[in-house]
């Protein structure tokens, strides 16, 4: 939507007026049946909870309401420049229908959605339709002025003008011109007002600050959980891998000491076995250290670490790096493990034979794109590794976007706000 704010007059361009009218008309045609359907289904489903049926249906209905509301959030941002951040509490993936139902009903954002639906089907419908009416209604008046009045019934009313002949028809035309003049000022603003109304009802009462606090709280909890899980993994790998092999080496050495004089051949065999065990233990320790923080990442930075990672992949991989400096170590580490997880998924699940990685820094953001020519179908959620990547990036205000239609290609984009040194 275009609003001429430079002049301070609030006038819209001709294209902006027409676009606002078309968008308002489309909104009114889609939102009214959508809001009515969502509201009726929600009321019926919640009413059926006492007899058990609603326990099963309510999560699906509320998910549909959320999708409808999120669609409006997208349109508000793209068409009106009005940002309405979603504030839904996450529902545990392994929750049963009872937990999902009451978890969603216990979320204040759910009740804001339900309150918004009747507002959207009434005041929202009117404010969306008005821009189109204000632009189209004058066309009727102009048509009456140029001769349409002849086929209309006697005493036809156009606004407050009763059309009985050519003279009154010209009056209708004058009224139409006045309405067009008003449309020049108000059509884009009316559509903007519709989105402001949507934000007033649908948005969090605490505004963006409250949403920011909630996101930081969740990402801090995710970071703590991730660190604890990582620590357990390291302890498990040490216990089951390197530690067990080093214990075996010690036992072999004890046996060798006992057999050295009585059975030299067996002792030599055990020495060779102990050597193999020590080599394997050293390799496992190196892999473990690489998994904690690769030395190449610490010494040479993210670009070279990703190049080294690409060299170990079983598929052809092209890496493009344009980083004039280095980010802070925690940011580099998060970005590296995000790329590592995405590449692991690509190798395991995509069926791709080529992967392209692009790293660059622009506008204060580190941006990483990973594209493969596989079969597609990657999604965030449903227990995928991408969910863990998204949570880890959230600690740094980073975002993860996935485009993976069926048949491919898959494009994963990582963006982390940071400065390079």
Lowest mean pLDDT among 95-99, 329-333, 349-353: 95-99
With 80 as the cut, is the pLDDT of residue 30 above it? yes
Give the range among 2-16, 21-35, 215-229 with minimum mean pLDDT.
2-16
Is residue 162 scored above 50 in pLDDT?
yes
pLDDT, position 42: 93
- Give percent above pLDDT 70 in the chain: 90
Total-model pTM: 0.53
User: What does the mean pLDDT of the chain come to?
Assistant: 82
Does residue 110 or residue 211 have the better pLDDT? 110
Query: Once rounded to an integer, what is the mean pLDDT over residues 267-291?
Result: 82
Lowest mean pLDDT: which of 217-226, 282-291, 294-303?
A: 217-226
State the pLDDT at residue 359. 93
Predicted pLDDT at 12 = 55
C-alpha 170/C-alpha 253 separation (Å) is 111
- Is residue 33 pLDDT above 80, yes or no? yes
111: CB partners within 8 A, 6+ apart:
none
How confident is the model over 229-251, as a mean pLDDT? 80
Query: Are the C-beta atoms of residues 301 and 328 closer than 8 Å to each other?
Result: no
**CA 70 – CA 61 distance, rounded (Å):** 14
Give the pLDDT score at 116.
93
Report the phi/psi class of residue 54: left, alpha or beta, with left for phi > 0 and alpha for psi in -120 to 50: alpha
Q: Tens of pLDDT along 135-145?
A: 888 888 888 88
Q: What is the pLDDT of residue 418?
A: 86
Confidence of residue 8 (pLDDT cuts 50, 70, 90): very low
Please classify residue 25 by burial: count the beta carbons closer than 10 Å to its beta carbon, then call 0-12 exposed, 13-18 middle and 19+ buried.
Answer: middle
Six token digits for residue 143: 């048509």
pLDDT confidence of 2, banded at 50, 70, 90?
Answer: very low
Residue-level pLDDT at 384? 65
pLDDT of residue 115: 92
Is residue 60 pLDDT above 50, yes or no?
yes
Average pLDDT over residues 185-207: 84
Angle, CA 107 vertex, CA 103 and CA 108 arms, to 5°: 160
- Higher pLDDT, residue 186 or 197: 197
């Amino acid at each position: 939507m275009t609003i001429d704010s430079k002049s301070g007059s609030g006038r819209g361009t001709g294209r902006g007026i027409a676009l606002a009218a078309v968008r308002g008309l489309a909104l009114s045609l889609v939102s009214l049946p959508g809001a009515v359907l969502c509201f009726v289904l929600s009321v019926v489903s919640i009413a059926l909870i006492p007899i058990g049926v609603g326990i099963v249906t309510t999560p699906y209905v509320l998910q549909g309401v959320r999708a409808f509301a999120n669609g409006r959030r997208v349109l508000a941002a793209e068409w009106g420049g009005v940002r309405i951040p979603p504030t839904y509490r996450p529902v545990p993936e392994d929750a049963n229908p009872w937990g999902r139902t009451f978890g969603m009903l216990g979320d204040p954002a759910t009740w804001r959605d339900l309150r918004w639906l009747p507002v959207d089907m009434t005041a929202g419908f009117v404010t969306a339709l008005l821009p189109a009416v204000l632009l189209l209604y004058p066309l009727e008046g102009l048509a009456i002025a140029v001769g349409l009045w002849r086929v209309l019934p006697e005493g036809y009313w156009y606004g407050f003008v009763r059309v009985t002949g050519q003279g009154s028809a010209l009056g209708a035309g004058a009224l139409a011109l006045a309405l067009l003049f008003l449309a020049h000022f108000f059509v884009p603003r009316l559509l903007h007002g519709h989105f402001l109304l949507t934000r007033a009802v649908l948005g969090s009462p605490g505004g963006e600050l409250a949403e920011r606090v909630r996101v930081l709280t969740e990402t801090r909890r995710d970071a703590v959980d991730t660190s604890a899980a990582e620590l357990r993994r390291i302890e498990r790998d040490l216990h089951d891998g390197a530690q067990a092999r080093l214990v075996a080496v010690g036992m072999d050495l004890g046996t060798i000491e006992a057999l050295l004089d009585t059975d030299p051949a067996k002792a030599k065999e055990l020495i060779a076995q102990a050597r193999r065990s020590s080599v394997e233990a050293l390799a496992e320790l190196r892999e473990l250290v690489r998994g904690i923080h690769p030395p190449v990442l610490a010494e040479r930075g993210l670009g070279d670490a990703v190049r080294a990672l690409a060299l170990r992949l079983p598929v052809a991989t092209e890496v493009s790096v344009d980083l004039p400096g280095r980010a802070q170590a925690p940011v580099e580490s998060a970005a590296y493990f995000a790329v590592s997880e995405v590449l692991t998924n690509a190798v395991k699940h995509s069926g791709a034979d080529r992967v392209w990685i692009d790293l660059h820094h622009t506008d204060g953001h580190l941006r990483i794109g990973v594209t493969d020519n596989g079969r597609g179908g990657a999604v965030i959620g449903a227990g995928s590794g991408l969910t863990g990547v998204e949570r880890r990036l959230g600690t740094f205000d980073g975002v993860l976007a996935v485009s993976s239609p069926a048949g491919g290609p898959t494009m994963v984009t990582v963006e982390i706000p940071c400065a390079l040194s």
